[in-house]
């Protein structure tokens, strides 16, 4: 895929704070790239630089092979739109909010009407035209912000935490819209998130940003599943266990972690180790299942968080595990807080840090 935006050794300092440190990144045409990282890791800073809103302290930025500097920044800015984390809407109707950017770009009334209509449909906001944007719920306001950006139909769309703090319904509408515009119109999308599930569901590539450095970039299965010190240090990653590992005669290892938890790993290693298991590698079942998987635990669901098409569960077994199931399975299995479940995963799903 052709490179659309190239960042070369980008650094950004705010006084003593190094918000970004020597970031090299290529954004490819028609891809969805998520920037995954904990709070304060530099995601917003990076998006603002890619949007040509802020200039880097050091480094170069190229758009379609052309170096961007102050003199041609305005031209480059027209090729992309950024949706900010907190919707900044005008105290006016939804229609006027979405039409504003089009007006600035000199669209005729007819063209504006057509484009606003299309954007409303994309964000599933038909019928909201006359409502006051500021009176809508947080999630609906976020969809208006997205619709406002979509109406401009730029090649590059930058989204800062598009679903942070939203209810599941609005979050899944936004996720579906993002996938739709990428698939149907070939819009290149870069989205910042600290939601590991979203990074996996939405994207072609994930860039892991830790303390201003781009620790890893690649397809989700490589970045999110492979053994990676960077990923494990990402504070929100769950299912991390430390303990003493012993090699078993059959070639695997058994790790004894706190709380009497014993995990079997396919990696032969002895001594003190830290391992992690990705939530999606854990099978949730109502009864113990007969399988070749070496790790089976019984536990109780203690927390449920609905992420739209996926539901994340916290299960108290000997230790807390975080697992994910599809919404459909969640409903069909009638799971809820208090349900007793079995968790099953393979020894080969236990990754060493
Ligand atoms: P969050 O998920 O909390 O939004 P983030 O990953 O988007 O975080 P940034 O907002 O890019 O992180 O911030 C990176 C670092 O730069 C932080 O330490 C932040 O405090 C600092 N920073 C960002 N903007 C400014 C600013 N305008 N002035 C001073 N420091 C800033």
Residue 195 shares a structural domain with residue 281: no
Residue 205 shares a structural domain with residue 248: no
Domain boundary among 215, 232, 249: 232
Q: How far is the CA of 108 from the centre of ligand 1 (A)?
A: 39
Mean pLDDT, the chain, rounded, equals 89
**Pocket-forming residues, ligand 1, beta carbon under 6 Å:** 14, 17, 19, 37, 39-45, 194
Contact 19, 42 (CB under 8 A): yes
Residue 105 shares a structural domain with residue 227: yes
| HEC secondary structure over 212-224 | CEEEEEECHHHHH
Domain boundary among 232, 250, 268: 232
Would you say how long the chain is, in residues? 353
Evaluate if residue 229 carries a pLDDT over 70. no
pLDDT of res. 226? 58
**Euclidean distance between CA atoms 304 and 21, whole angstroms:** 37
Residues 13-26: b if buried by 16+ CB within 10 A, e if exposed: eeeeebbbbebebb
Domain boundary among 198, 232, 266: 232
Residue 217 shares a structural domain with residue 269: no
pLDDT-based confidence at residue 228 (cuts at 50, 70, 90): low
Q: At CA 173, angle to CA 177 and CA 42, rounded to 5?
A: 75
Higher pLDDT, 252 or 211: 252
Count of the separate structural domains present in the chain: 2
Return all residues near 68 (Cβ < 8 A) that are at least 6 apart: 52, 61, 62, 76
Single pTM value for the model: 0.72
| Residue of minimum CA distance from atom 1 in ligand 1 | 39
* 9-13, 262-266, 287-291: the lowest-pLDDT one: 287-291
Which whole number is the average pLDDT over 12-20?
A: 93
Residue 9 shares a structural domain with residue 74: yes
Which whole number is the average pLDDT over 100-120?
A: 94
For residue 136, give the CATH number of its domain: 3.40.50.300
Residue 294 shares a structural domain with residue 251: yes
Evaluate if residue 135 carries a pLDDT over 90. yes
Residue 262 shares a structural domain with residue 324: yes
**Euclidean distance between CA atoms 162 and 133, whole angstroms:** 17
Q: Which two tokens stand for residue 99?
A: 């039409």
Contact 48, 82 (CB under 8 A): yes
* 26-40, 73-87, 322-336: the lowest-pLDDT one: 73-87
Domain hosting 333: range is 235-352
State whether residue 101 is helix, strand or coil.
helix
Which whole number is the average pLDDT over 228-240?
A: 60
The model's pLDDT over 313-329, given as tens digits with 9 standing for 90+, comes to 989 998 889 898 988 99
């Amino acid at each position: 895929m052709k490179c659309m935006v190239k960042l070369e050794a980008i650094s950004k300092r705010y006084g003593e704070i190094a918000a970004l440190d020597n970031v090299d990144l290529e954004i490819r045409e028609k891809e969805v790239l998520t920037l995954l990282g904990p709070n304060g890791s530099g995601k917003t800073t990076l998006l603002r630089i890619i949007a040509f809103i802020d200039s880097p302290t050091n480094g170069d930025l190229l758009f379609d092979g052309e170096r961007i500097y102050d003199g041609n920044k305005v031209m480059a800015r027209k090729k992309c739109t950024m949706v900010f984390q907190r919707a900044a809407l005008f105290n006016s109707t939804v229609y006027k909010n979405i039409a504003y950017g089009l007006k600035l770009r000199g669209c005729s009334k007819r063209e504006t009407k057509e484009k606003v209509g299309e954007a409303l449909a994309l964000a599933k906001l038909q019928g909201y035209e006359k409502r006051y944007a500021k009176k809508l719920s947080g999630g609906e306001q976020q969809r208006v912000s997205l619709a406002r950006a979509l109406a401009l139909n730029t090649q590059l769309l930058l989204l800062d935490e598009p679903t942070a703090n939203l209810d599941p319904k609005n979050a899944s509408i936004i996720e579906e819209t993002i996938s739709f515009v990428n698939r149907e119109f070939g819009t290149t999308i870069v989205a910042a998130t600290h939601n590991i599930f979203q990074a996996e569901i939405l994207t072609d590539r994930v860039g892991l940003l830790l303390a201003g450095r781009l620790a890893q970039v690649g397809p989700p299965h490589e970045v999110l599943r492979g053994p990676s010190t960077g990923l494990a240090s990402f504070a929100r990653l769950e299912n991390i266990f430390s303990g003493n590992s012993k090699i078993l005669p059959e070639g695997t290892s058994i790790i004894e972690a706190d709380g009497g938890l014993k995990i079997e790993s396919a990696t032969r290693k002895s001594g003190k180790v830290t391992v992690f298991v990705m939530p999606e590698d854990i099978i949730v079942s109502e009864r113990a299942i007969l399988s070749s998987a070496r790790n089976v635990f019984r536990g109780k669901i203690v927390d449920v968080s609905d992420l739209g098409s996926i539901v994340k569960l916290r299960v108290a077994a000997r230790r807390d595990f975080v697992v994910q199931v599809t919404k459909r399975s969640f409903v069909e299995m009638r799971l809820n807080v208090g349900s007793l479940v079995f968790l099953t995963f393979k020894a080969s799903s236990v990754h060493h840090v």
